[in-house]
Structure formats: C-alpha cells, structure tokens
Amino acid sequence: MTYSPIATAALLAILIASPAGAAAAPTSSGPPRTWPDEGPAPGAERERPRVALVLSGGGARGVAHVGVLKVLDELRVPVDCVAGTSMGAIVGGLYATGMTAAEIEHTVNEIDWLDTFDDLPAREDRSFRRKRDDDLFLVKARPGLSDGRLKLPQGAIQGQKTYLVLQDLTLPAAGVTDFDELALPFRAVATDIVSGEPVVLERGGLAEAMSASMAVPGAFAPVRIGEHMLVDGGVSMNLPVEVGRDLCGDVVIAVDISTPLLEEDRIDSVFAVADQLANIMTRRNTELQLAALDSRDIQIVPDLGDITTTQFDRAVEAVPKGEAAARDQADRLAALSLSPDDWRKHLAHRESRSSLPPVIDFIEIHNDSGLSDQVLAERLDVQVGERLDVGALEASIQTIYGLENFEKVSYSLVQSGGGTGVRLNARAKSWGPDYLQFGMRLEDDFDGDASYTLAVAYTRTEMNALGAEWRSQVAAGQEPLVFTEWYQPLDTGGRWFVNPSGSWFRQDFNVFSGSQEVARFNLEEWRLGFAAGREFGQWGEFRLGYQRGFGETDRRIGDPELDEPDYDVGFAFGRFWLDRLNSANFPTAGSEVFLEYRAHRPGLGDDEDFDQFILDVSRAFSWGRYTLRPGLSLRRTVSGTAPFYALARGGGLFNLSGYETNQFAGENLALGRVIAYRRMGDIRLAPVYFGGSLEYGDVSDDTPDIEDYKGAGSLFLGMDSFVGPLYLAVGFAEGGDRSAYLYLGQPSSAVNR
C-alpha cells in the first residue's frame, strides 16, 4: 500500500470516523490441503507462455485491480500465478483462491472497509465486566504500564476485524498452507520492519499473509509470522515484478496503481511535503521493479485521478478506471487469449472449490497470556466430530477478543494425523497486562454552578490463570474519590465470581426550597464491600453483597442551626443487571435493566432500619438515523424511613429537565422518559446527534401520586467523543422553569445507582 504520514493520519481519522532479494517466508506445518478439492489439471490447454499477474499496493486505489481482472476474464487471458503487495495482495489472493472477477467486485462493493478498520470490540461482544468500564467516565484507550513507564500499542489498529473479514473471504482455502496449492500459485509481499527487507510469503495462512502485506506502519500493528515482524510490503517492494517472474512468468502483466508524485503547485504544506517524501520512497522501489519488465511484458497504469489511498468510500470509482486502462492494452492482451474450449478448461481448474467446510477432528490453543487455555476453550464454539460452523467459530473468537486481554485472536485450519483441526491463536497485548486509564467529567449550568472531576485508574489484569484483576481509581475535583477492588472469577467460564472493594468519596448534597438552594452540605463517606455473584455471558449478572461504612457531613452554606450529622451505613443487597445496549452513550439498539433491593439494618451496622427497591429500565429502537429510547426509573422506600444519604434525587438533564440538578430529594421517585435523537452526518471519530426528551414524574417522601407528577423536556446536541459523551442542552419544565446544561460524561442517574 502506498502510504504517507498524512495518509496514515487520515486513515486513523476515517476508521474511527476516513531490487532487493526476496526472503523465504516462514512455513506452517501440515500436509497438503484436503479442502478445497483438487480440480482438473490444465494439461489440455494448448502450449502458450505462462502469465504472471503482478498487482501493486495503493490502498483504496487498489480496487482498480478488480477492473483489470474483469477485462482479463472478458478477453480470456489466462493467469498462471499471482503476486501482490498490500491491496494488490488482497485482490490477488482472492483471485488465486478461484474467485472470479465478478465475485471479487461484488465482495469489494459489499465490504464496509472503514468498519473493518475499527478494532474496538462490538459492545455486545464485550464481557459484562468490561461493559461496566463504561460507567467509570474513563476514555477507552488503555496504555500499558510496566517498570514505571508507559507502553503503547505498536499500531492504532491491531487488525482483528480486518483479519476475520479476510479469513471469511478466503475460507475455501483455509486448509491450504502452501500457496502453490491454491487454484493459482500466489505470493504476497510484506516488509520486515526490523531489517527493512521485503519478505515474500509463500506458506502459512492466506488471510494472515494478506494482513501482513497491508499493515501500514503506524496505522496497523506489525503482523508477526515466524521470526519476522511484518508491515506493508509497499515500503520495500510495492510492485513485485521479479517475484511474479520467478514464480511462473514468461509474460508479466504488471498493474501499477501507486500514488503518483505531486506537482510543484500542490506541495503547499508540511503535510504535502511529508506525503511527497513517502511517495518518493514508494516510487523508487516501484521504478526498480518496472525496470525488470521486458518487451513481452504488459504494464497497466489506471488513471485514478484524485482518489487517495484512504478514500475507501470512493473505492468503487476505481473499478471502471481499471477496466479502461486494461482495454487500452487490449491488442497486446488479446495475443495471450485462449480459445473458448481451452478457456473453459482453465476456468474449471481455477474455480474448483469445495462448498463444504471440513469436519473438525481436534482443537489446538496457542495462548501466550496469563489466562489458562481452559478459559479460552470454554468460550470457543467448535464441536469436535462435526462440520465446522464458521459463523459460530468467528462469533466465539469475538467473544474471546471481547475479554480485552488480547491484541489479536485468530484461527487457522491445520492437518495432523490425517485429521483436520482448528488452531486458535490468542496473542496477548504486548503493552499489558497492567493498564492506565484517564477520564474527566464536567458539569455546568451556565448560572455560576460548575463542577469538574479528573480521574485515573490503574488496572492489573491476569493476576491468576482464571483472570483475576485488581483495579484502583483516584478522582480529584468537585467529587474526589478513592476506590479499589479485586475481581476474582471462580471458574474457567467466568460465570461465578467474588468482588471485595473499598472506597472513600466526597460529594455535595444540596437542599432546595422550591427552586431556591437553601443549604449545601459536603458529604464524606468511607465504605468496604463484598459481593459474590454469577455472570450470564456478555449480557448480565446477578450478585448478592454487603456494604459497611460511615460518613460525615459538613455544612458549606445555609442555616448554622442545621444539623451536621455523622452516620453509619450497613446494608445487604441483591442486584440483577442486564445490559444489552450496543452503545453506552448513544445506543441505537438493545436494552438495559437495573434491579436492586437493599436492606438496611442496625444489625448490619446501619443507623436506620429501612428497605429500598430500585428499578431503572431503558430500551433503544432505531429507524435509519433516528433512535427512540423510552425508559422508566423507580426508587421506593418500602419500609422504614430513609435518611438523607439514601434519598432519590431529581432535577437535571433527562431527570426532570428544566429544573436545577438534584433540586428534588425524597424517599420515593417515579419517572418515565422518552429520549429521541438523530445522528448527524457520517463522522465516525466523534458522531454528533441532535435530539430531545420528554419526562414525566415526581420525587417525594410519600408514595408518588400521578396528580402531582411534573412534566419536563429538553433539546440537546450530543457528541460521542473519545473522552466520553458531550451534551449541550436546554431544559424546559412546567411553570416556566428553564435550565441550560453542559455535560461531559453521562448525566446523573435519577435513582442514584
């Protein structure tokens, strides 16, 4: 792939938003393939020169190769072997498996390229434990920490999703370990990032070879194959003419779609200069390969205009341009054309593929993390003795990846003892297993009341083979916090767990009379807790627990006669939490249910004797860009009298908008809401939404009476930024109350979970 610093930067934005000698590749063990089946040999074809097809790198521009293939098939030009770099390796590799040009075109058009470059696990694939990270207002990026220094990933993209897409596309050749045994002999070219030399991949996993060949340095992490750490082949050999010649080529058809050098008037910024320098490097190694062409060879150079390497949204435009360039060479290509009979025989050999996956005889797990192999095996959905269910296998791989212990989880089909097996390759994060996360919360009502909180969390994972982790978090600002916990799974499936914890926090407690704040207390509390429970896959958990603590209050403003009580807290609880939302911030599908019962007792260390019931439910429905999210929040003191620190709070965005944040306090709360929003544009880095809400409910010390319910609503602009959800909103309430809000982070929950 032709690349540059600016192209790399653009790629990173889009995906979250847009002659040296050839080295022999490491080999994989295993006898010749059993899947796909062998096709008829092309021995009946008339004697002719053997044709090597050589395809260059070029990112999104490389889709032009498909147009060239269409013309070659139309003119009945046989291809005897293929060599490619980067996108040329992807298109060429698919052609080598036996796919027709039409099939490749359909595939390329159907792929959401930008989505494949987004490596973050889908939320539905993350473990329930990892979903709870979303509640901590921490950024998703987790740099590692080792020996007192930060460790970063080797690339912004680890290539997990890209690999699975390529593995799925090359599935009929998944059992092939020798690329000479594909329908067409094939070579992919990558670059050893240590030596800078090209590496010609001729054995191993086809999808892995493609991934290595297109791993743009900086954007993609290097792909390790054997002793080599590999990146984009365009760095060292963007147009592998000599590789194709050595493989089979009496005649070489070389397709060059690399980015041309910029004209002087376009070198008008530091980014353009960086672009030009990278293009010069790529052009130099390309020119060296072009010099190896002779008079019989055919060079095809599509005119791709201003299509850049990162414009995958324009990739489809490149296909007809590839066709046009190939037709310009139609006379020379026609000289290689086969007769209709010989063409049919050639196609019969090239397209011979089995449609059935193999029966699996064994499973191998290669795992270099601190987790036991059994932890992975419990989540791997492969049935020995049955035909491989590719969909189930890939879904389970995403579940393992969703544990977030691995930088890449892949699989391959291997042969041993006359049987076919699945080999799971789980590579631990090179920057783990200790991580730092940072976060920030901000709240401003534009009326002189603003607060902020800065946080840092330190997490040690893989504390034992079952996946125990220790996490500590410190927050500073208006609501300082110190929190630590140990999370210990009790079985390899991660179903049962125990979770001791300790915390200290300080927060404000505001007292209102109507809309007027009359007092503000500072509440400081220490707590110890213990819980045990069961997780239900990725979607929920049930836990029983106990919390014990004590607190102090300090009046900051208000009547000096008001009490400043100290208090003890002690309660047992049972909690069921279901979370199937596809996004924590702006979900478009799924549901969430939080249900908890708390029993405060003097015998458990509490000053008071009371029970509370908490319910928080929401569901997301979408139609195109539009999302509707109804929800219900209830908090009920079912026995006794709840003290001030256990009251429900109302007021603030989505919690009776238009009123001051936490303006209402009471033992009981009932609140229904509907939030609607529309996604604006197609920005992936930080999607923007416009929406509004309608709310209806009340907070009181008595049983909520629908006649006393208040109506409220809001209009907002929202952004799902990398530091968390950002809201700029205005709220409206009955009686003419108005409030403006700026939130970085989720608005406070009405039920104070």
pLDDT at residue 614, rounded to an integer: 95
**Distance between CA 189 and CA 230 in Å, rounded?**
10
pLDDT at residue 34, rounded to an integer: 31
- Reported confidence tier of residue 19, pLDDT bands at 50, 70, 90: very low
**Distance between CA 609 and CA 641 in Å, rounded?**
7
**Distance between CA 701 and CA 667 in Å, rounded?**
5
Give the count of beta carbons closer than 10 Å to the beta carbon of residue 51.
Answer: 23
Question: Per residue in 507-518, pLDDT tens?
Answer: 877 776 666 666
pLDDT at residue 29, rounded to an integer: 32
pLDDT at residue 559, rounded to an integer: 67
Question: Per residue in 116-128, pLDDT tens?
Answer: 877 788 888 899 9
Give the count of beta carbons closer than 10 Å to the beta carbon of residue 506.
Answer: 17
Please compute the mean of the pLDDT values over residues 451-472 and round it to a whole number.
93
**Distance between CA 457 and CA 753 in Å, rounded?**
20
Question: Per residue in 549-576, pLDDT tens?
Answer: 999 888 777 666 666 788 999 999 999 9
Structure tokens at 274: 């960086």
Question: Per residue in 125-157, pLDDT tens?
Answer: 899 999 988 888 788 788 888 777 888 888 888
528 forms beta bridges with 502, 548
Lowest mean pLDDT among 103-112, 370-379, 604-613, 718-727: 103-112
Tell me which residue of 744, 235, 98 sits closest to 444, measured CA to CA.
744
**Distance between CA 240 and CA 292 in Å, rounded?**
10
Identity of the highest mean pLDDT range in 42-51, 251-260, 654-663, 666-675: 666-675
How many helices and strands, by DSSP H and E, does the chain display?
A: 15, 33
Cα dihedral 322, 186, 234, 52 in deg (nearest 10): -50
pLDDT at residue 752, rounded to an integer: 60
**Distance between CA 677 and CA 571 in Å, rounded?**
39
pLDDT at residue 514, rounded to an integer: 63
Give the count of beta carbons closer than 10 Å to the beta carbon of residue 454.
Answer: 15
Angle at 204 between CA 200 and CA 207, to 5 degrees: 90
Eight-state DSSP code of residue 97? T
Please compute the mean of the pLDDT values over residues 97-124 and round it to a whole number.
84
Question: Per residue in 364-374, pLDDT tens?
Answer: 999 999 999 99
Question: Per residue in 297-331, pLDDT tens?
Answer: 999 999 988 887 777 878 888 999 999 999 999 99
pTM: 0.82
Alpha helices in 113-250 (DSSP H): 113-116, 128-131, 160-169, 206-213, 241-247
Burial of 619 (0-12, 13-18, 19+ CB in 10 A): middle
Alpha helices in 17-86 (DSSP H): 64-74
pLDDT at residue 275, rounded to an integer: 66
Asked if 361 and 386 touch (Cβ cutoff 8 Å), the reply is: no
Average per-residue pLDDT for the chain: 85
Cβ contacts of 419 within 8 Å, gap of 6 or more: 361, 362
How large is the angle between the packed helices 87-96 and 64-74, nearest 10 degrees? 30
Query: What percent of the chain is modeled with pLDDT above 70?
Result: 88
Asked if 164 and 111 touch (Cβ cutoff 8 Å), the reply is: no
**Distance between CA 673 and CA 618 in Å, rounded?**
9
**DSSP characters over 694-714:** EEEEEEESSPP-GGG-EEEEE
Tell me which residue of 558, 691, 163 sits closest to 398, measured CA to CA.
163
- The amino acid sitting at 249 is G
157 forms beta bridges with 220
3-state class (DSSP) for residue 6: helix
Dump strand ranges (E) for 540-687.
540-557, 567-579, 590-600, 610-623, 626-639, 648-650, 664-666, 668-680
pLDDT of residue 28 exceeding 90: no
- 626-639 and 648-650: which strand pairing? unpaired
pLDDT of residue 596 exceeding 90: yes
Q: Which one has a higher pLDDT value, 10 or 53?
A: 53
**Distance between CA 469 and CA 463 in Å, rounded?**
6
Cα dihedral 156, 161, 166, 167 in deg (nearest 10): 130
Question: Per residue in 612-625, pLDDT tens?
Answer: 999 999 999 999 99
Cβ contacts of 670 within 8 Å, gap of 6 or more: 633, 634, 697, 698, 704, 709
Q: Which residue has the tokens 């860009």?
A: 625
Tell me which residue of 630, 704, 622 sits closest to 667, measured CA to CA.
704
Structure tokens at 73: 């098939």
Asked if 525 and 569 touch (Cβ cutoff 8 Å), the reply is: yes
Asked if 600 and 609 touch (Cβ cutoff 8 Å), the reply is: yes
Query: What percent of the chain is modeled with pLDDT above 90?
Result: 51
**Distance between CA 132 and CA 585 in Å, rounded?**
13
Q: Which one has a higher pLDDT value, 264 or 36?
A: 264
Angle at 305 between CA 300 and CA 310, to 5 degrees: 95
- Reported confidence tier of residue 266, pLDDT bands at 50, 70, 90: low
Question: Per residue in 669-705, pLDDT tens?
Answer: 999 999 999 999 877 778 999 999 999 999 988 876 7
Cβ contacts of 364 within 8 Å, gap of 6 or more: 414, 421, 422, 423, 424
Asked if 555 and 562 touch (Cβ cutoff 8 Å), the reply is: yes
Distance of CA 442 to the CA centre of its chain: 26
- Reported confidence tier of residue 171, pLDDT bands at 50, 70, 90: confident
**Distance between CA 648 and CA 749 in Å, rounded?**
9
**DSSP characters over 506-548:** EEEEEEEETTEEEEEEEEEEEEEEEEEEEEETTTEEEEEEEEE
Please compute the mean of the pLDDT values over residues 69-81 and round it to a whole number.
94
- The amino acid sitting at 270 is V
Rg of the Cα atoms in the chain: 31
pLDDT at residue 263, rounded to an integer: 65
